[in-house]
């Protein structure tokens, strides 16, 4: 008697099936999307080949005790069975299998989530901040199910800062923050993944067309500083501290002046040449470094992905001015845009060496927070031929960024530059 081999994953959402098929293909498993005889679900990723079934079975047999597995499980089960309702900020995962719901609950506990177990679902508690943390941690792949978060407002009063809390000095590996008080980004960065955090109120303006100014930030800081423990101060992670409106409001300069008597170590990251205005203040800090984000030397690429920001030449000149003023400098090459940033990386390294930056920080592209739609629109307008390969890099497990990391490291090492990676 012949033995029939079959592996099938049936889900109603076509986007999810496409993601699964691409992922399996990247791991060497050939499958096809075909029809199934079911009233509610009529398509599935499937294969009937023995060798492919065995590959998939070996992939499924992973160590379920690791944090990576648990986060992946939660992201996958949300893609398959989850939903998010913006109005009630309710994220739920439904399933008729009691064992699966118990696993969902156990894994949520491991990540310190609060939840309520119902008969046929698990509901996340804590409102929008916890939903954002869930998506950031588990990284579900179906964008449609997460769009309710993008543009939603955290329930917190805007306009004035309420408090500042010191977290001491920490080494930061990823340019991401969970802060709830900030100024929205006035530079349009189509690759930025922090946009979903930057709207306290629902607006008609598009991302990059508004700035919420925390006009009392220096005053609040003055009240808080006497009781704060000295620690590294970063200006800024989610927000560029040198927005165009900074020239008028001078909030960053005033903040620096408040910090100066306490000699907090300062790290600045910006895309604006306006940073050179504050050289006189930077020079008075005992520990201070200023960095520029530069993802390419191609000015056309800069205009397409970072409109309204300073030109690449202006950024390089700003780093040179800062260095000549005795201020420690660094370049942040991030995110590395697949197949785009790499074209000028060698020349960029040469120019960074020429202007004597003290170190280089490199990061990959993160697809989260609703930035894929904006990136895809930019690619569609200017680089349509790159969309398939670009999508493959960011949505499936592959060696692109690990291979690029080795190449970039060799280039920076050859130029004699100190460097580190965020990934």
CATH number of the structural domain spanning residue 113: 3.10.28.10
Burial class (CB in 10 A: 0-12, 13-18, 19+), 216: middle
> Looking at the structure, do residues 247 and 123 belong to the same domain, yes or no?
no
Describe the strand order of the beta sheet including 32-35 as a list of residue ranges. Answer: 7-10, 43-47, 32-35
Give the model's pLDDT for residue 281. 98
What's this model's pTM, rounded to 2 decimal places?
A: 0.57
> Looking at the structure, do residues 336 and 232 belong to the same domain, yes or no?
yes
> Looking at the structure, do residues 99 and 51 belong to the same domain, yes or no?
no
Give the model's pLDDT for residue 148. 62
How far is the C-alpha of 322 from the C-alpha of 32, rounded, in Å? 56
Give the model's pLDDT for residue 126. 84
The answer to whether residue 208 is domain-embedded is: yes
The answer to whether residue 175 is domain-embedded is: no
Give the model's pLDDT for residue 175. 33
> Looking at the structure, do residues 116 and 237 belong to the same domain, yes or no?
no
Taking each helix axis as running N to C, give the angle between helix 371-382 and helix 387-395, from 0 to 180 degrees, rounded to the nearest 10: 160
Give the model's pLDDT for residue 249. 85
The answer to whether residue 93 is domain-embedded is: yes
> Looking at the structure, do residues 239 and 270 belong to the same domain, yes or no?
yes
User: Could you list the residue range(s) of the whole structural domain that residue 55 is in?
Assistant: 7-60
Would you give per-residue pLDDT tens digits along the chain (423 residues)? 456 677 777 777 777 777 788 877 877 788 888 877 765 667 777 888 888 878 777 776 666 778 878 888 898 899 888 888 766 568 999 988 899 999 999 999 998 899 999 988 999 998 877 887 888 788 787 777 776 665 444 444 444 544 444 444 433 333 332 222 233 333 333 444 445 444 444 555 555 566 667 778 888 889 889 988 888 898 987 678 998 888 888 999 999 999 999 999 999 999 999 999 999 999 999 999 999 999 999 999 999 999 889 999 999 999 999 999 999 999 999 999 999 999 999 999 999 999 999 999 999 998 866 678 788 889 999 999 999 899 899 888 889 999 999 999 999 999 999 999 988
Sign of CA dihedral 397, 400, 402, 403: positive
> Looking at the structure, do residues 218 and 337 belong to the same domain, yes or no?
yes
The answer to whether residue 21 is domain-embedded is: yes
> Looking at the structure, do residues 49 and 94 belong to the same domain, yes or no?
no
How far is the C-alpha of 397 from the C-alpha of 394, rounded, in Å? 8
> Looking at the structure, do residues 39 and 79 belong to the same domain, yes or no?
no
Contact 271, 303 (CB under 8 A): no
Give the model's pLDDT for residue 156. 41
Number of domains in the chain: 3
Give the model's pLDDT for residue 169. 41
Contacts 24+ apart (CB under 8 A), 20-24: 20/45, 21/45, 22/392, 22/395, 22/396, 23/395, 23/396, 23/397, 24/56, 24/59
Which of these three, 18, 36, 60, is where a domain ends? Answer: 60
The answer to whether residue 209 is domain-embedded is: yes
Give the model's pLDDT for residue 198. 46
> Looking at the structure, do residues 24 and 80 belong to the same domain, yes or no?
no
Give the model's pLDDT for residue 177. 29
Which of these three, 130, 145, 160, is where a domain ends? Answer: 145
> Looking at the structure, do residues 373 and 303 belong to the same domain, yes or no?
yes
Give the model's pLDDT for residue 133. 81
> Looking at the structure, do residues 371 and 406 belong to the same domain, yes or no?
yes
Give the model's pLDDT for residue 209. 61
> Looking at the structure, do residues 229 and 103 belong to the same domain, yes or no?
no
How far is the C-alpha of 249 from the C-alpha of 346, rounded, in Å? 38
The answer to whether residue 1 is domain-embedded is: no
């Amino acid at each position: 008697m012949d033995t029939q081999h079959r592996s099938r994953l049936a889900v109603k959402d076509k986007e999810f099936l496409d993601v699964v098929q691409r992922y399996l293909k990247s791991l060497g498993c050939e499958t096809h999307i075909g029809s199934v005889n079911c009233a509610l679900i009529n398509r599935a990723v499937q294969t009937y080949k023995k060798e492919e079934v065995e590959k998939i079975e070996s992939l499924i047999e992973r160590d379920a005790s690791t944090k990576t597995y648990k986060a992946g499980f939660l992201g996958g089960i949300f893609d398959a069975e989850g939903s998010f309702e913006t109005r009630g900020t309710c994220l739920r995962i439904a399933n008729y299998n009691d064992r699966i719901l118990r696993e969902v609950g156990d894994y949520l506990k491991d990540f310190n989530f609060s939840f309520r177990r119902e008969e046929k679902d698990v509901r996340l508690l804590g409102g929008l901040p916890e939903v954002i943390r869930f998506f950031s941690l588990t990284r579900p792949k179906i964008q449609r199910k997460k769009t309710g978060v993008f543009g939603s407002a955290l329930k917190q009063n805007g306009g004035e800062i309420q408090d500042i809390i010191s977290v001491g000095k920490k080494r930061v590996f990823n340019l991401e923050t969970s802060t709830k008080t900030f100024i929205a980004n006035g530079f349009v960065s189509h690759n930025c993944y922090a946009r979903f955090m930057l709207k306290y109120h629902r607006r008609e303006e598009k991302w990059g067309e508004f700035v919420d100014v925390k006009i009392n930030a220096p005053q609040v800081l003055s009240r808080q500083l006497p009781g704060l423990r000295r620690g590294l101060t970063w200006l800024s992670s989610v927000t560029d501290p040198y927005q165009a409106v900074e020239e008028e409001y001078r909030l960053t300069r005033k903040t620096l002046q408040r910090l100066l008597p306490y000699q907090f170590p300062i790290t600045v990251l910006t895309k604006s040449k306006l940073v050179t205005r504050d050289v006189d203040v930077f020079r008075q800090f005992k520990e201070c470094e200023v960095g520029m984000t530069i993802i390419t030397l191609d000015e056309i690429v800069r205009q397409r992905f970072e409109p309204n920001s300073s030109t690449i030449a202006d950024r390089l000149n700003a780093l040179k001015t800062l260095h000549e003023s005795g201020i420690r400098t660094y370049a942040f090459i991030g995110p590395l845009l697949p197949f785009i940033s790499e074209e000028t990386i060698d020349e960029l390294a040469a120019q960074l060496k020429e202007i004597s930056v003290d170190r280089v920080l490199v990061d990959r592209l993160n697809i989260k927070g609703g930035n894929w739609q904006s990136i895809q629109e930019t690619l569609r307008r200017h680089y349509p031929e790159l969309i398939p390969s670009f999508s493959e890099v960011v949505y499936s497990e592959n060696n692109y960024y690990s291979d690029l990391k080795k190449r970039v490291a060799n280039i920076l090492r050859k130029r004699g530059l100190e460097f580190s990676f965020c990934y």
